Structure 1
Amino acid sequence: MRLVTFNLRHGLGRDDRVDRRLLADAVRGLEPDILALQEVDRFQPRSGFADQARICAEAMGAVEYRYVPTVAGWMSVPGLRWRARGEERSPAYGIALASRLPVRAWRRWRLPMASRWVGPVQLGIDEPRAAVAADVETPSGALTVCATHLSSRLGNAWAQLPWLRDALRGAPRPLVLMGDLNLRDEAPITVTGWRSLAVSPTFPVAKPRFQIDHILVDDDGGLRTAGEARAPDTGVSDHRALVIDVALSTG
């Protein structure tokens, strides 16, 4: 079973253009069974009004997927104020999780936001963040997979990750967390106490120097790696995708 996490950067290619066929080919070439996506556009002018979550799900042959908008409205409009919601057919930007395996249940969360004040001056407002989880039926048993994209601002990822770990406490095990966590290298292991399934630098794409895209497992349930982790350059995004094959013990 192949797990993949991929920050799309709204499908931007090397020539600074967005091509939905290139995006589909990139996902198809990764051959994921379960795919976590970040920075996913829906009906945005900058990405040709494409529904990128649907494009990726169809390219991998997913039987189910969920798109979770974190920002509603046109991304290209100067001065756009972040809104943590979006109607079914509205322009949006967010995360997605897709599976080629049947899903018994879906869950989602809005992550805590933060802003920083120095005296009377507000230095920044955090972009809304979310997480989505699927209870997946594999040939060897159940598996919970959660996808997220944590904050890159104000060090807020250090608060969001333990919050999400606690929110997932009641989820069925084994449990995998995938996504762009905006925490470098071993920091997510330190924060959660979980184990990394895939260690490879993922950013920046041309000459990756550090890993901010992660696949973690809560060590309770017999999930093991079945090969070496890879971080291929797909020709899309400023991130490399992170890929790992895993097996679930039946006994």
Structure 2
Amino acid sequence: MQSNQATRRRNWASGVWRGLLGAVVLLACAAPLRAEQPLRLRVLCYNIHHAEGVDGKLDLERIAGVILSVKPDIVALQEVDQRATRSESVDQPAELARLTGMQVAFGANIPLQGGHYGNAMLSRFPITDHQNRLLPNRNNGEQRGVLSSTLKVPGLGEPLRLLATHLDHRGDDGERIASAKAINQLIDASSQQPTLLAGDMNDVIGSPTLQIYDKMWTRANDQPLPTIPVAEPTRQIDFILFRPRDDWKVVEVKVLDEAVASDHRPILAVLEYVGGE
């Protein structure tokens, strides 16, 4: 009798487990496949004026706070000092990397007060290599450069290329035009590599400088989003651009409401990579 009861209990338990397993399989088959999350990059462009605000205070932590406030993945920075006397001989690129917890690359364009001055970039992703190139210099102007790096971004089939620059500010646009052409020449027009360009172009939408970029790049915003003067901006001279055009979708572009930390307002673009769709 006990043996028959034990056998019935085992059969009952086995039947229950088979039923539960069948239900799980049916639910799994009926449930829709979860789509992969799209790859979105938060890209910030910021001329930091060597961390000197319009209030006259030199405050690199304040700059780092502005950067962290929008949780960027990639940051292009202009007017960055490295161990220059005027900024207390601080290695600003290294210190910003420490304050933000991001990787850094720096491109020195000008020797300055015992150190250097140039462009920098911060990245949440590994920077696998970087190179700084000097741009055309006319009439003994301030030497400009373009910092180019390769980033290893999860979700991209190939490395992301990022270029950061700061062009001439003088009224004559000859040097800006020459620099824009030089930057375009760094890019293979037939290349499908995902590439971003960000910087202080010191020129506006519709200018010859921006028209040259338009031949190779797509601006994150069609209509102007003013970034200077910082108190009440009326002109956009800071831009984020991308290529190939059809591989990116603009989710959002905005100028940050920050009017003290630098003499420029930062601009943020949220870009979704749709390449290969």
Of residues 59, 67, 90 in structure 2, which corresponds to 1:50?
A: 90
- 1:45–1:21: structure 2 CA closer, same or farther, 3 Å change rule? same
Whether the 8 Å CA contact 1:32–1:60 is kept in 2: the answer is no
Is 1:102 the counterpart of 2:142? The answer is: no
Is 1:184 the counterpart of 2:221? The answer is: no
| Dislocated runs of 4+, deviation >4 Å | none
Structure 2 residue aligned with 1:120: none
Q: What is the correspondence of 1:11-160 to structure 2 with a 5 Å cutoff?
A: 11-62=51-102, 64-74=103-113, 90-115=114-139, 125-141=140-156, 142-153=159-170, 154-155=172-173, 156-160=175-179
Structure 1 residue aligned with 2:180: 161
- 1:92–1:223: structure 2 CA closer, same or farther, 3 Å change rule? same
Structure ranking higher in helix proportion: 2
Whether the 8 Å CA contact 2:73–2:124 is kept in 1: the answer is yes
Whether the 8 Å CA contact 2:225–2:255 is kept in 1: the answer is yes
Partner amino acid, structure 1, of 2:218: R
TM-score (norm 1): 0.83
Is 1:195 the counterpart of 2:218? The answer is: yes
Partner amino acid, structure 1, of 2:108: P
Separation in 2 of the partners of 1:147 and 1:200? 19
Whether the 8 Å CA contact 1:105–1:135 is kept in 2: the answer is yes
Q: What secondary structure is seen at the aligned counterpart in 2 of 1:163?
A: helix
- 1:147–1:172: structure 2 CA closer, same or farther, 3 Å change rule? farther
Whether the 8 Å CA contact 2:255–2:265 is kept in 1: the answer is no
Of residues 235, 246, 271 in structure 2, which corresponds to 1:210?
A: 235
Separation in 2 of the partners of 1:234 and 1:3? 19
Q: Which runs of 5+ in 2 are unaligned?
A: 1-40
Separation in 1 of the partners of 2:259 and 2:125? 24
Superposed displacement of residue 29, structure 1? 1.7
Superposed displacement of residue 160, structure 1? 0.7
Separation in 2 of the partners of 1:250 and 1:163? 26
- 1:232–1:140: structure 2 CA closer, same or farther, 3 Å change rule? farther
Partner amino acid, structure 1, of 2:237: I
Give the % identical residues.
27
Superposed displacement of residue 172, structure 1? 6.1
Whether the 8 Å CA contact 1:27–1:56 is kept in 2: the answer is no
Separation in 2 of the partners of 1:234 and 1:98? 22
Q: Which runs of 5+ in 1 are unaligned?
A: 75-89, 116-124
Q: What secondary structure is seen at the aligned counterpart in 2 of 1:228?
A: strand
Structure 1 residue aligned with 2:267: 242
Separation in 1 of the partners of 2:238 and 2:231? 15
Superposed displacement of residue 56, structure 1? 2.1
TM-score (norm 2): 0.75
Structure 2 residue aligned with 1:233: 258
Q: Give the aligned length.
A: 226
Deviations 1:30-74 (A, max 9, x none): 322111111111222222222211222223321x31111111131
Structure ranking higher in strand proportion: 1
Separation in 1 of the partners of 2:178 and 2:84? 30
Whether the 8 Å CA contact 2:192–2:244 is kept in 1: the answer is no
Whether the 8 Å CA contact 1:229–1:244 is kept in 2: the answer is yes
Whether the 8 Å CA contact 1:135–1:172 is kept in 2: the answer is no
Separation in 2 of the partners of 1:208 and 1:44? 29
Structure 2 residue aligned with 1:87: none
Tell me which structure has the larger Cα radius of gyration: 2
